[in-house]
Amino acid sequence: MKKKWNLIKLIAIPVSLLILAALIAACVSEAPSPTTIPPTAVPPTPTATPIPATASEKCLFCHGIENIAMMVGQEAVPVYVDITAYQQSKHGEVECVECHIDIDPTPPHNANRIFGSWARFSLKDTDVNLSRNFYSVPADACLACHDDAKYAAFSQSEHATIKDMKFNADGSPRAEITIKGSDGQEYHANENFDAKDCERCHINTNCGTCHWTSTIKQKQEGSVIDLWTSYDKDSDTVKGAMTEYGMDWTVNVASHDFRNAEELTSSNDVCTTCHIGYYQGDKSVPAIGLEGMGIRRHPQVQELTLSAARGVHETQQLCTGCHKDLHEMVYQNTEHGARLGGTTECINCHADKAPTGETHKTVTCIACHDAELGVHLDNGMVYPMALKHNLEESWPSHNLTLEIQCTKCHFSGNEVGASETVTEEEIHQ
């Protein structure tokens, strides 16, 4: 059974011990400047006063000093924990070291810091001694208590591995390549996964990325929808800033509060932080055989908004309305993957619209119902296609319409195997 902290004992620490705590902080300054300690400082060991009874009380000997902060590079990272706020939180009876398992309880702690995951606006540097952009509680610590199989499956999910961003379809690491076009020019395609940049956001995500309470910041205020069809260079710059979000986790260190399932499934706020982006207009490069719309980042939230304006999914605007298995989310969680045995498919709600007959059995619903993109073949399936980094990418479109354009597939010289002419037949049941 977990011990409740002895708050009375902690308050009863003699004044002399509190003075020692101030010395441990190394550089106390007047408010509002934070008290800062270097990450490698070794405070003197008190011997005249009894050690606090519990492990957490030992931690609060330093971390209970209000405004205490740790200098990481040029940034002051708050490390103060408010004991009252923490005890009222969801994990109020859990000892510090039950979560912070990769840490030496005696300063310097030498915590196993993992770079990246949510502070997009932080320093582009994987050196955790220079950037505040790190976390120190591994998912294994969460699984010690939250031992449901679906949580264990998270470590292999798309959200955790981001394998499609790090690797090509054949499993090889993504790397920029040079292609010589029919015009004699050289073109760059694909991208290098640069840890110092990409991993500010795209890292082996852990539970805290979504569940740790944080403030969500937009780099530039405004709605990218207002500039959706503006494709000039200046608009692209503005849309880029409007779709760059960051989650500042440091504001929550004092209370150590977490978002629960109800909070995460009742809004798209956390999903929006990553699943946001914009269309770039025609990014065709005929010299290397590319034709289509360019997309930057992951604008599923904007696509949902555009769909609702067309009368599609007006009452289905929450991501979790369709995506139920967030912890286990893998490729088969898409409508394309559903045709191969996955669980998220359109007919879960639209059972009366299940495709019938042989003609369209390899055509995904979104290939027909996407509003703005062309299509291509992906593992024998017709799928919406976007251009990213001079590559054709299958796109899990949420930008839907009730109006069908059969000519996306049915034209002379198409590459998806469709007939040139359209013959009348029943597509749905």
Per-residue confidence (pLDDT) for residue 340, from 0 to 100: 58
How many structural domains does the chain have?
A: 2
Residue 52: pLDDT over 70: no
Same domain, 189 and 120: yes
Region label for 281, one of left (φ > 0), alpha (ψ between -120 and 50) or beta (otherwise): left
Helix or strand (DSSP H, E) at 236: helix 233-242
The answer to whether position 253 is within a domain reads yes
- Whether 105 and 122 share a structural domain: no
197 token code pair: 């940049």
pLDDT of residue 63: 94
The tokens 């939230």 sit on which residue? 301
Provide the residue type at 180 as one letter: K
The phi and psi torsions of 10 (rounded to 5 degrees) equal -65, -40
**Residues 6+ positions from 213 with CB-CB distance below 8 Å:** 252, 255, 257, 258, 259
CA distances from 233 to 187, 239, 297 (A): 20, 10, 17
Please tell me whether residues 160 and 238 are part of one structural domain.
Answer: yes
Single out the residue in 110, 128, 146 at which a domain terminates.
110
Q: pLDDT band at residue 385, thresholds of 50, 70 and 90?
A: very high
Instruction: Let me know if residue 267 belongs to a domain.
Output: yes
Question: Residue 11: which pLDDT band, with cuts at 50, 70 and 90?
Answer: very low
Does residue 186 form part of some domain? yes
Longest CA–CA span in the chain (Å) reads 91
Least confident interval from 154-163, 210-219, 282-291: 154-163
Q: Using one digit for the tens of pLDDT, what is the confidence trace for 224-257? A: 999 999 999 999 999 999 998 888 878 889 999 9
Say yes or no to pLDDT of 115 above 60.
Answer: yes
Query: For position 175, what pLDDT does the model report?
Result: 92
pLDDT band at 189 (very low <50, low <70, confident <90, very high): very high
Q: b or e along 377-396 (b: 16 or more beta carbons within 10 Å of the residue's beta carbon)?
A: bbeebbbbbbbbbbebbbbb
Q: Are residues 248 and 375 in the same domain?
A: yes
Can you say how many angstroms the Cα of residue 87 is from the centroid of all Cα atoms in its chain? 28
CB 116 within 8 A of CB 98: no
* Residue 391 pLDDT > 90: yes
pLDDT in tens, 340-372: 566 778 888 888 888 777 788 889 899 999 999
159 with 295, same domain?
yes
Residue 341 lies in a domain: yes
Has residue 423 been placed in a domain?
A: no
For residues 46 and 134, state if they share a domain: no
Find the helix or strand (DSSP H, E) in which 114 lies: strand 114-115
User: Which residues contact residue 315 at a Cβ distance below 8 angstroms, ignoring those fewer than 6 apart?
Assistant: none
pLDDT, residue 338, reads: 57
CA dihedral sign, ordered 46, 51, 56, 57: negative
User: What's the number of CA atoms in the CB half-sphere (13 Å) around residue 25?
Assistant: 26
Spatial CB neighbours of 42, under 8 Å, sequence gap ≥ 6: 107, 108
d(CA 288, CA 396): 24
Domain co-membership, 117 together with 91: no
Do residues 78 and 220 both lie within one domain?
no
Regarding whether 188 and 103 lie in a shared domain, the answer is no
Q: Is residue 66 part of a domain?
A: yes
User: Among all chains, which residue has been given the structure tokens 């991208």?
Assistant: 191
Q: Do 260 and 383 reside in the same domain of the chain?
A: yes
Closest C-alpha to 400, from 315, 316, 304, 319: 304
Which range of residues forms the domain containing residue 193? 112-408
Determine the angle formed by the axes of helices 55-63 and 15-24, rounding to 10 degrees. Answer: 70
Q: How confident is the model at residue 132 (pLDDT cuts 50, 70, 90)?
A: confident
Using CA atoms, how far residue 151 sits from 94, 163, 196, 202, 246, in Å, is 19, 19, 28, 20, 25
Q: What is the mean pLDDT of the chain?
A: 82
Structure tokens at 216: 């969500």
Residue 420 lies in a domain: no
For the chain, the residue count is 429
Which amino acid belongs to residue 176? E
User: Cα-flanking dihedrals φ and ψ of residue 219, to 5°?
Assistant: -60, -40
- Among the three residues 110, 130, 147, which one is the final residue of a domain in this structure? 110
Per-residue model confidence as pLDDT tens digits over 262-305: 999 999 999 998 899 999 999 999 999 999 999 999 999 999 99
Give the per-residue pLDDT at 345: 80
∠ CA 67-125-297, nearest 5°, is 105
What pLDDT score does 47 carry? 46
Residues 278 and 310 in one domain: yes
Output the CA torsion sign for 314, 319, 325, 328. positive
For residue 224 the two structure tokens come to: 């990218």
132 and 70 housed in the same domain? no
Model confidence at 417: pLDDT above 70: yes
SS3 of 392, please? strand
- Rounded-to-integer distance, Cα 252 and Cα 119, Å: 13
pLDDT at 19: 38
Residue 422 lies in a domain: no
Q: Write phi, then psi, for 358 (nearest 5 degrees).
A: -90, -25
Please say which residue of 84, 110, 136 terminates a domain. 110
169 or 82, which is more confident: 82
Q: Specify whether the CB–CB gap between 285 and 181 falls below 8 A.
A: yes
